[in-house]
Amino acid sequence: MPQLNPGPWLMTFLMAWFTYMAIFLMKVQSAPLQNSPTPPIQTKQKTNEWAWPWP
């Protein structure tokens, strides 16, 4: 069995993590725009968003 090179796996993990955090931050930054028309839905979405992203 050949030795696995951690380089590509590390790069894939970092790219996935940065993409994941970038999408999460865009959702958080767009939250105040969604907050003005519909406050109750936004509060529910905000609690869900803060609940799942942290491992």
Please state, in angstroms and rounded to a whole number, the distance separating the CA atoms of residues 14 and 8.
10
Digit-coded pLDDT (tens) for 15-35: 999 999 998 888 877 665 555
pTM of the model: 0.41
**52: phi then psi, degrees, rounded to nearest 5:** -95, -25
DSSP for 5-46, please give it.
Answer: PHHHHHHHHHHHHHHHHHHHHHHHHTHHHHHTT-HHHHHHHH
Quick: pLDDT tens for 46-55.
555 555 555 5
Phi, psi of 53 (to 5 degrees): -75, -20
Q: State phi, psi for 43 to the nearest 5 degrees.
A: -65, -40
